[in-house]
């Protein structure tokens, strides 16, 4: 959190936390409803998970 606070303003930290929370909530909702991934989006699964 220290590095984050050094590089971002208070407002940016709040916006980042809100955005992460929103996407986490959305992912939980979609998983809970068993929404299937669009076949065209499957190519992006796993990107950034190195």
Which range marks the domain in which residue 22 is found? 7-33
Tokens 């979609």 -> residue: 30
Dihedral sign for Cα atoms in the order 17, 31, 48, 38: negative
- 16 falls within a domain: yes
Per-residue pLDDT band for 50 (boundaries 50, 70, 90) equals low
- 1 falls within a domain: no
- 25 falls within a domain: yes
Q: What is the pLDDT of residue 5?
A: 86
**Per the structure, how many domains does the chain have?**
1
- 29 falls within a domain: yes
- 49 falls within a domain: no
Q: What is the pLDDT of residues 3-46, one digit of tens each?
A: 888 999 999 999 999 999 999 999 999 999 999 888 888 888 87
- 42 falls within a domain: no
């Amino acid at each position: 959190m220290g590095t984050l606070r050094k590089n971002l303003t208070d407002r940016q930290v709040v916006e980042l936390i809100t955005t992460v929370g929103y996407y986490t909530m959305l992912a939980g909702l979609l998983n809970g409803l068993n929404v299937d991934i669009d076949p065209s989006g499957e190519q992006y699964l796993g990107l950034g998970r190195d």
